Amino acid sequence: MFDIPLNTSTYVNKHRVRERQLRYRYINEHTKQYKKYKRHVYKKKVLRRKYSDKKYGSSLDENFNNSDNNNNNNNNHPENKEYLIARRNKKKTKWTTVYSQDTQELESENNAFGSTKYEEDSDISETEDTNNANINDTDEDARIKLEKNDYDNDDDNNNLDEEEAFISSKDERKYFSRHHKPQQTYELWIDPNTTTHRPLQTNIIRFPEWSKIETRTKSKLKEPLAQTTHSLKAYQKLIPYGLYLHDPHNIRSYHKRPTIQDKHIETMVILLRIHISKLNWSMAYRIFALLIRIPRVDIRSIWQYGVAILNQSENLIQCLTFLEWMHSVFSSKKAYHLTNLLQSDPVFRGSSRNHTAQFSLTWLWNSLIFYSTKGDQTRRNKHDYEKGNMRIKEEDGEYDEHFLNKYDKEGMERLIEKITEMILSPPFMEDGEVWFILAMCHMMRADYTSLCYLNRRGGQPSYEREKLYDQVTYDINKVIKYLKESKSRQNGDFLYPNDYIMRSLTQIELRVSEEEEEEEEEEDDDDEEEEKEASLSDDTNKPTHMSLTNKRKEIEENNRYQLVSQAINESDLRPELDSSLFQVEEENSFLQTLDMPDYLLEDDYNNQYNAHDNFYTNRDSDDREYSSD
Amino acid sequence: MSSTFIRGPICGVDNCPSRLWRIIAGRRTCQYGHVMEGDIEFNNDDDAAGQQSQGVITKRLNLTTNQQGSFQSSLSFSQQNIQKIKHSKKFIKGKQAKLLMIKSLQYILKKQVDYLINICGFPVNFENIVKLIWLSFLCKVNNEPKGVIISLNINITVSVIYFSILQLGLPVYFCDLINWISSLDFPYYKAGNIIPRSWNERLPNFYLSSLNGNNLLTLKTFTDAILRFNSLTHTSKKFNSTINVTGLIFKLVTLNTLPPEFFFYTKKFVELFCSDEKDLTISIYKIPNRSVSNHILLPETYVILSFILTIRYILLYDGVYTEKQIYPNSWLEALLRTAPINEEDISEKSVNRRLTKLLNTNHDVANEVSSNPINWTEKETTNYLTWIERKFVPLEVKNHEELGKFSMDEGIILRKLNDIVPLDSTDFPYTELNRTPLTFIEELQEKYLRLLDSVDNNNSNTVNSNRVNEDIDFKKRLDLICKLENKIIFDLSNDFNTSVENLQYQLAAFETRIKTYNN
């Protein structure tokens, strides 16, 4: 039913690996051929445009007619000569090395036909070209034909001279084709070169072209399929129709017979899923605890269930410790070598030098939420900050205390320390999400300290207040810095409620600055500077050192902040996507907007379940949703 | 400069006997001026520090010698290589490996026999018979000029046990063996880890994997193994090789909760149609051949097939040749509808049967209702999980630990994980079924009583509308008989770990044979 979660070092189902390899090879080959075809059509258009502008059609036509008798006639026209030389050069540079074959084909148009190699093609191919050209009347078509011929030549293996010329290189290719390349067993999702990107379904493809592509891919797959089993060959035939091989009579010999161990583990995994779906947590916990104890089970493929189950317990730290254990044991900083004979799934279960493991990210998110709420997310109600106008007033004292009690100061400090440490090393250094989490941590701390500042309004030594003030400004600076960092990172292009974050930052800042205005009229310029740097609307024109009109300036500034926030609220400056995703009015905390906790939906049991499900299983997709801009 | 000598390994260059070393210009040199091969110098101090404090400060490592007398800090390349070789496993090959393999087979056999005698209550005499048959095998192997011909795997020990069961005429059959194996009591699964660790380390992986019974025995592989063993040792000539028919028939009848007269019917049937010596004994002439192995049957299968046919014929002709229908439709319906027994009342044997059913890979799990874990009740699941906790997980962990597959760090890490996720968590309480395990006989009684109850209910419900519409009645009856037969075939295919198709095919072949036999 499902893939059995076993350690891949011991468990390799060769049949499945081969099938997957073949399937993706077929898909990759097919897309490659299709791209070639697209490129060919594209060239056609470009050439037609080019040569229809300049009018030396007649001379070219003559040239091609004469070329049957004498090839040198081609050189009569300067343009034509240039073109032919360029073409010859192209052909010479086609075949470079075996290793770089794949990438080169993708990268450059010149090497698009790199799999076929023509070095000494001057005489034969040109005569062929011209023969073809004679059929067509116009010179443009002749040119296209030239190109097309290049495309078609791939199939023509009849010419013995050519084959003899490239026996050596062919042998080399054969030799290397025999070696198993794991990178071919996975679908190429992204073409690294953006220049070759062309929309796939712009034109309708006609059947003849389609069949041509089909035959070409088949011919490409001939070689690797030469020495395989019948079943694999049959499987290859079924791929284009989207079918799978299922032979009920022969199924045991075709697929490896599951051992006693496999069978039991499989059964347990099925039971685990069933009981999670039934919300029977105690049973699910027991199954999970048993599964973990079996040495051959790979925890990396079932940890999500573990997190979902452990989150149901009252002791929420258990889940965090489990995730921390996962992070400390399974995060490796080794680079993932495609050349290794790893027949396992891709790295996505674990981590590598360029890929942060999902469980580490989950750990960070969960601990951020936990330390800022102590696991209790019902702390804030709707009326706290109404409509983004987060002016703190005396009535909010109760709420403040509530929040202050819920915030785990030491835990958050530890978390920040941990992340700053992590960020120094490769996989986390390049991950925008980690930077974003760090920024959020700082924001939480700023929120907390600013509230502390407000809370101890009276009877507090000034140096402590200064300390708090410094802390807030420091944190706000960090938030902005890290948000910038996260944007510049590899996968940091996800969309997040930037407006909302900035607005709450200004609010946090306001809490402190208001106090400054009221009580301490003389403020350090340095602090003010920092404040300005940190603020959302960094007005560079604003004078920084104005000792005389210091007070007035401050008031103006505060007013401006208010104005900005009001303006944002009143006008629909916020993008639609943003507002729909993050309902600021209802869920006031940015943390709550990031991922909907189930606690908010206590009324409806089903809803709770759904939200919970989304919360854990689709965390990844939730986070990436913003990136779809 | 410094003339202090350090005692170290023998120099050995040109038979130099020196053991004393000193350092000249950073090279370790012996008393007679030979420079040591592969010497590594440790320079711990920073150069900058040396420049700053103008006096040269050098840090010396305390050179210690190991057992061989060489410096531990510096190993010559040749020495390093030697150490590496020492660490790698020493596999033995060829004849030696085969000898060790036979030795370990014997060890496993001993364990298996111990289990059978101590726990399953086999007679003490059983051990002697096993010894005799094992000796005949050893003798054959020893006298073979080319060495061992037969492929050595764990099925040899199973076939030795099977032959000794036959010799004593015990009512133990292939289905029982399978049940014991699938409950992981009988040393078969991962038997390669039972043998002493020193043997385990020396055996190559190929042999080890053939010692581990990773897959459950199927009827076909079992038949193959027994016939191969027999063709090698000719055990069936020297020992009794007919199976205990009555015991098997009794077992079949009771398992399917049929009335006792079916025992006699089936016995008569077997006497009539399987009286052939060939059918009920294992003969040497049945040499297994992969292409035609379908036609070679274990004697037990003949009994099964005749049992099924007996039921079919008796039910079909019931009421036709007799005046009154002995087995009315209501009885058939009750048989088909056997209500599920309470999980608390289930005996150990039935649990094992269920496990065998689960492990039967011959049919898709998705197609069945009972053995598909999706349809399990909560109590069934708890039962299964307790079994997993008691038998399966300890075995897996123990094997890993005993074989030293865990490194030190791994052990610590896993212990940490076990602390994080303990089996008994207060947050997730689970209720263990507090069942007092019934004996098999008690369960059987329960089954028969249930059947009786349901038959009575049926009789009271249905109004006596006898022979109102005979055609419809007959069709209905045929349908019921077919259903019952299918059910029995399905159950038996699970007990004997074959596919339903195979049994049906064999049944058809057997029926045609009987028809020709009559003619």
B373–A293 CB contact, under 8 Å: no
At A113 the pLDDT is 38
Q: In angstroms, what separates the C-alpha of B363 from chain A's closest C-alpha?
A: 9
Give backbone dihedrals phi and psi of B494, rounded to 5 degrees, phi first: -70, -40
Taking the C-alpha atoms of residue B407 and residue B410, their distance in angstroms, rounded to an integer, is 5
Using alpha carbons, list the distances in angstroms from residue B434 to B373, B382, B439: 22, 11, 16
Does residue A171 sit within a domain?
Answer: no
The DSSP element (H or E) to which B231 belongs, if any, is helix B219-233
B429–A282 CB contact, under 8 Å: yes
Pair of tokens at residue A53 = 């502008």
Contacts of A579 (CB under 8 A, 6+ apart): none
A–B interface: beta-carbon pairs under 8 A: 107
Does residue A298 sit within a domain?
Answer: no
Taking the C-alpha atoms of residue A517 and residue A554, their distance in angstroms, rounded to an integer, is 7
At B263 the pLDDT is 92
Taking the C-alpha atoms of residue A284 and residue A310, their distance in angstroms, rounded to an integer, is 10
Pair A364, A492 in one domain: yes
DSSP string spanning B346-405?
-BHHHHHHHHHHHH--SS-GGG-SSS-GGG--HHHHHHHHHHIIIIIHHHHHHHHHHTT-
At B79 the pLDDT is 46
Q: In angstroms, what separates the C-alpha of B60 from chain A's closest C-alpha?
A: 35
B420–A325 CB contact, under 8 Å: yes
* Chain A neighbors of B382, CB-CB under 8 A: 283
Pair of tokens at residue B388 = 């997993």
Does residue A182 sit within a domain?
Answer: no
In chain B, which among 248-287 make CB contacts under 8 A with chain A? Answer: none
Taking the C-alpha atoms of residue B451 and residue B337, their distance in angstroms, rounded to an integer, is 9
* Confidence band, pLDDT 50/70/90 cuts, at residue B115: very high
Vertex B41: Cα angle to B35 and B46 (nearest 5): 145
Does residue A206 sit within a domain?
Answer: no
**Domain boundary at A138, A163, A188, which?**
A163
Pair A479, A549 in one domain: no
At B309 the pLDDT is 92
Taking the C-alpha atoms of residue B451 and residue B438, their distance in angstroms, rounded to an integer, is 19
Is the CB of residue B376 less than 8 Å away from at least one CB of chain A?
Answer: yes
User: Of A115, A111, A120, which is closest to residue A165 (Cα–Cα)?
Assistant: A120
Using alpha carbons, list the distances in angstroms from residue B273 to B176, B305, B512: 25, 11, 12
Pair of tokens at residue B2 = 């410094």
**Domain boundary at A104, A129, A163, which?**
A163
Output the CA torsion sign for A395, A399, A404, A405.
positive
What's the whole-number average pLDDT of chain B?
77
* Confidence band, pLDDT 50/70/90 cuts, at residue B307: very high
Helix, strand, coil share of chain A (percent; to 5): 65, 0, 35
Pair A580, A497 in one domain: no
Taking the C-alpha atoms of residue B373 and residue B488, their distance in angstroms, rounded to an integer, is 21
Residue B397 CB burial class (10 angstroms; 0-12, 13-18, ≥19): middle
Taking the C-alpha atoms of residue B248 and residue A444, their distance in angstroms, rounded to an integer, is 75
User: Of A315, A312, A349, which is closest to residue A330 (Cα–Cα)?
Assistant: A349
Taking the C-alpha atoms of residue B370 and residue B357, their distance in angstroms, rounded to an integer, is 9
Does residue A600 sit within a domain?
Answer: yes
Taking chain A (629 residues) in runs of 10, the rounded mean pLDDT of each run is 49 63 81 81 72 49 43 51 64 44 40 36 38 41 46 44 55 64 55 58 71 86 80 80 61 59 87 90 91 85 88 83 86 55 53 78 88 58 39 48 70 88 82 88 85 68 79 87 83 77 83 60 40 39 39 49 44 38 39 41 41 42 41
ipTM score: 0.79
pLDDT > 90: percent of chain B: 11
> Between B152 and A382, where is the model more confident?
B152
Pair A486, A450 in one domain: yes
**Average confidence (pLDDT) over B227-243:** 84
pLDDT at B105 over 90: yes
**In chain A, what's the furthest Cα-to-Cα distance?**
106
* Chain A neighbors of B400, CB-CB under 8 A: 295
Q: In angstroms, what separates the C-alpha of B425 from chain A's closest C-alpha?
A: 9
A290–B416 CB contact, under 8 Å: no
Output the CA torsion sign for A492, A493, A497, A500.
positive
Is the CB of residue B387 less than 8 Å away from at least one CB of chain A?
Answer: no
* Chain A neighbors of B393, CB-CB under 8 A: 290, 293-294
Pair A552, A466 in one domain: no
Query: Which 3 state secondary structure label does DSSP give A339?
Result: coil
Pair A559, A489 in one domain: no
Pair A420, A509 in one domain: yes
Pair A386, A467 in one domain: yes
DSSP string spanning B271-282?
HHHS-SHHHHB-
**Which residue do the tokens 């992340």 mark?**
A419
Query: A111 has which bridge partners?
Result: none
Pair A455, A554 in one domain: no
| Edge-to-edge strand ranges of the sheet holding B6-7 | B6-7, B20-24, B27-30
Pair A371, A442 in one domain: yes
* Chain A neighbors of B425, CB-CB under 8 A: 285, 289, 313
pLDDT at B135 over 90: yes
B214–A289 CB contact, under 8 Å: no
Taking the C-alpha atoms of residue A467 and residue A451, their distance in angstroms, rounded to an integer, is 14
- Of the ranges A494-498, B240-244, B350-354, the best mean pLDDT one: B240-244
Question: How many C-alpha atoms does B313 have within 13 Å on its Cβ side?
Answer: 13
Does residue A48 sit within a domain?
Answer: yes
**Which residue do the tokens 């080169």 mark?**
A104
The DSSP output letter for A386 is B
DSSP string spanning B279-298?
HHB--TT----TTTGGG---
**Average confidence (pLDDT) over B341-365:** 71
Q: Estimate to the nearest angstrom the gap between the alpha carbon of A101 and the chain centroid.
A: 26
A310–B392 CB contact, under 8 Å: no
Pair A343, A427 in one domain: yes
The DSSP output letter for A530 is H
DSSP string spanning B400-425?
HHHTT-S-HHHHHHHHHHHHHS-SS-
* Chain A neighbors of B504, CB-CB under 8 A: none
Taking the C-alpha atoms of residue A287 and residue B381, their distance in angstroms, rounded to an integer, is 10
pLDDT at B77 over 50: no
Does residue A236 sit within a domain?
Answer: no
Pair of tokens at residue B5 = 């000598």
At B450 the pLDDT is 80
At A573 the pLDDT is 37
State the total domains in chain A: 3
* Chain B neighbors of A311, CB-CB under 8 A: none
B420–A322 CB contact, under 8 Å: yes
Q: Nearest by CB to B417, which of A263, A292, A310?
A: A292
Q: What is the pLDDT of residues B265-284, one digit of tens each?
A: 998 888 888 766 666 777 66
A→B contacts (Cβ < 8 Å), by residue, are 1, 252, 257-261, 263-264, 267-268, 270-271, 274-275, 280-283, 285-290, 292-296, 299, 306, 309-310, 312-315, 318, 321-322, 325, 329
pTM assigned to the model: 0.64
Output the CA torsion sign for B315, B316, B317, B320.
positive
B361–A290 CB contact, under 8 Å: no
**Domain boundary at A478, A502, A519, which?**
A519
At B308 the pLDDT is 93
Pair of tokens at residue B160 = 């030795």
The DSSP element (H or E) to which A132 belongs, if any, is helix A122-135
Pair of tokens at residue B128 = 């002697």
Query: Which 3 state secondary structure label does DSSP give A6?
Result: strand
At A479 the pLDDT is 87
Vertex B248: Cα angle to B244 and B250 (nearest 5): 120
A289–B425 CB contact, under 8 Å: yes
Is the CB of residue B508 less than 8 Å away from at least one CB of chain A?
Answer: no
A314–B427 CB contact, under 8 Å: yes
Taking the C-alpha atoms of residue A355 and residue B251, their distance in angstroms, rounded to an integer, is 60
**Average confidence (pLDDT) over B91-95:** 82
Residues spanned by the domain of A120: 14-163
The DSSP element (H or E) to which A236 belongs, if any, is helix A230-238
Pair of tokens at residue B326 = 């002995």
What amino acid is encoded at B508 in this protein?
A: A
Using alpha carbons, list the distances in angstroms from residue B276 to A505, B45, B118, B273, B283: 95, 93, 36, 7, 12
Query: Which 3 state secondary structure label does DSSP give A577?
Result: helix
Q: Estimate to the nearest angstrom the gap between the alpha carbon of A119 and the chain centroid.
A: 41
> Between A294 and B474, where is the model more confident?
A294
Using alpha carbons, list the distances in angstroms from residue B142 to B102, B103, B135: 11, 13, 10
Q: In angstroms, what separates the C-alpha of B485 from chain A's closest C-alpha?
A: 23
Taking the C-alpha atoms of residue A517 and residue B373, their distance in angstroms, rounded to an integer, is 69
What amino acid is encoded at A91 in this protein?
A: K
Does residue A273 sit within a domain?
Answer: no
Vertex A462: Cα angle to A461 and A464 (nearest 5): 75
Taking the C-alpha atoms of residue B454 and residue B450, their distance in angstroms, rounded to an integer, is 6
Pair A415, A492 in one domain: yes
